[in-house]
Structure formats: structure tokens, C-alpha cells
Amino acid sequence: MFRRERSIPLRGSAAALCNNLSVLQLPARNLTHFGVVHGPSAQLLSAAPEGVPLAQRQLHAKEGAGVTPPLITQVHWCVLPFRVLLVLTSHRGIQMYESDGSVMVYWHALDSGDASPVQAVFARGIAASGHFICVGTWSGRVLVFDIPAKGPNIVLSEELYGHKTPVTDIATEPSQGQDCVVDMVTADDSGLLCVWRSGPEFTLLTRIPGFGVPCPSVQLWQGIIAAGYGNGQVRLYEATTGTLHIQINAHARAICALDLAPEMGKLLSAAEDTFVHIWKLSRSPESGYIEVEHCHGECVFDTQVCGARFFDPSGNSFAVTGYDLTEILRYSTV
């Protein structure tokens, strides 16, 4: 059972985007950072364990030619081996900051060269993979940036071709049994999932086709891919083979966010139907097959949820943002 905890007020309401909440847990400093996109600006704030807001900062998308200020699509913290960077993607490009958002260390302008006039140009989908940061784009290309241990010498090292429609989300996980070689899943608007092995060069291992609906959110845990779709389904695949093992009719509207608490294998799904569900993933000890168990469902009344994250590694507490909502809602187990 979960109960509502004290909400954290936001300066600007959350925009109706997917994956619109990023959380950075800093247990050593007894702090949690939250990041939410409002529209042309994003808000970062840090809070103490009881939810008392401590500091806040607003970031804006870098200006450019255009009629209206560029909109931000996503804000996300990337935890790398030696540093943490905050990445902000917009309709102009990719901005990277030190983790508190105080200093911009890198700017990459999107190349809209071969976009047709009817195509929206933007970056979306952010994940850390070893010492790389991967960012998706409107064309389907995934940009791989090599991040040094410190300083601004960030370099675009590779562009991955696997998708033909705009990238929605990227998930990564340190691969089992091997140091510093991580695995990655990228998802797009057509529902296609691409599974990659990272390295000095990334290799495409397998593709999992879509079925006519976008896949706005994806997670990866112990070789299990959890994908949330625009028709409310959560599907669990075996990452190495791409085989579908579990199909959950989880929500009545499009899923907008998935999150994982890696310690316990807890999966969180949030959708525009106002519900948040918590699931437990596991593997059968005999067959090795993926198993799932429904743990909890929460109705966030009259709120079109747009972001949701656990904010502790065992999945005992989670936070939610909603369209037009000027606060971050928090829930904890009793």
C-alpha cells in the first residue's frame, strides 16, 4: 500500500510530453534532484527526504531562428563513471550541463538538412551508456557522445542508424558479467525497438518490430526489455533474442513513462488514463523465463500523467508529474 506524501511545488506546470520527469538520487547528500519540462523552459529542483524543496533553477532551450521560443522535449540526468551530466533536448539541439544545471558544458545544434518542411526537427531520448551519452533525434538517428572524465571536451563519436522514425526513448544497463560494456535499447514512434551492444563502436544486435503504435518509453533490466506502448500495453521481451514473453493490457490510454528500481526489479508504468501501476519482474529459477506480478495500482485523479519515477532504488517510493499540474506528487509505501 502506498500513501500520498507531501507534494513538491513547481514554478511552471508540466508539459504534456512523455517521460517528463527525471530524478537524480544523491543518498550521500540526503538529497533528491527532480527535473520537469514546462515548455520553453525546464525546472530543476532539489528536495530533502521529506519533500521540502531546497533549491530550484530554470533552464531554457538555446534560442535560434524561428517564430516562437524553442520547446524542450526532455531533461534527464546521465550518471557516468566519473561524473553526472544533465542533458536537455529541444527543437534546436542538445545542451549538456553540470549536474546542478549551473554551467553548460556542451551544445550540439541539430542538423535539419534533409528534413522536409512538414517534419518537426528535435532531439528526444537520452541515456548514459558507460562513458557515452546517447541521444535520439527526429530522423531516427541516435547520436553517441564521448564524455571525458571532466571538462568540456565532449565529442560526437558515432551516429547509429537503426530507426527511420523519431526516437522516443533510450534505456541502458550495465551488461552482466563484463566490465564497462553496457547494453542499450532504443525505441521510436513506429514502435520499433533496436537492441545494441555498446563499445568503442556500437553494434546492432536485434530489432523488435512495432505494431502500428508508438513506443514512448522503454526500460532494460537483467536482459529483460520492458516497453510501454501508445495502446496502453506493456510488453516484456528477452533482450538477447527479441522474443516476446509477456504482454500486459496495463492501461486504457497511451503509456507515457516507465521506470525501474533495479535492486528489486520493480517496474513502474504510468499512462494518460490517470493510473500508475507497479509490477515486479523476475525470472523463474527453473526455466529462466520472465515472470511478472502486479503489486499496486494508483489512480492520480483527473490528472493526465506525463512523467513518473521511483526515487529510491528498491522501489518503495515514486514521484509523478501531470499535464497542467504545478506540483510533483510523491507516494511512499506505508
Binding-site size for another protein (CB under 8 A) equals 64
How many CA atoms within 13 Å lie on the side-chain side of 304?
11
By CB under 8 A, what part of segment 42-61 binds another protein?
Answer: none
Using DSSP's 3-state secondary structure scheme, residue 23 falls into strand
Cα separation of 233 and 236, whole Å?
Answer: 10
- Identify residues 244-273 at the interface with another protein (CB under 8 A): 244-254, 273
Report the C-alpha gap between 140 and 162 in whole angstroms. Answer: 7
Applying CB under 8 A, which part among 27-35, 44-52, 231-239, 313-321 lies near another protein? 231-239
Site membership for another protein, residue 283 (CB under 8 A) = no
How far, in Å, CA of 132 to CA of 81, rounded? 10
52's enclosing H/E stretch is none
Q: What is the closest distance, in whole angstroms, from the C-beta atom of residue 196 to another protein in the complex?
A: 21
Candidate list 169, 173, 183, 189; residue touching another protein; CB under 8 A: 189
By CB neighbour count within 10 A (0-12 exposed, 13-18 middle, 19+ buried), where does 213 fall? middle
- The least distance separating another protein from the CB of residue 151, rounded to whole angstroms, comes to 34
- How far apart (Å, rounded) are the C-alpha atoms in residues 156 and 142? 11
Q: Which stretch binds another protein (CB under 8 A): 172-180, 199-207, 227-235, 258-266?
A: 227-235
Cα distance between residue 71 and residue 240, in whole Å: 36
Residue 250 C-beta: closest distance to another protein, Å? 6
Told to check if 176 binds another protein by CB under 8 A, we report no
Q: Which residues bind another protein (CB under 8 A)?
A: 10-13, 15-17, 38-39, 66-69, 71, 91, 117-120, 122, 165-166, 168, 188-190, 212-214, 216, 230-233, 241, 243-254, 273-275, 277, 289, 291-292, 294, 297, 299, 301-304, 323-324, 326
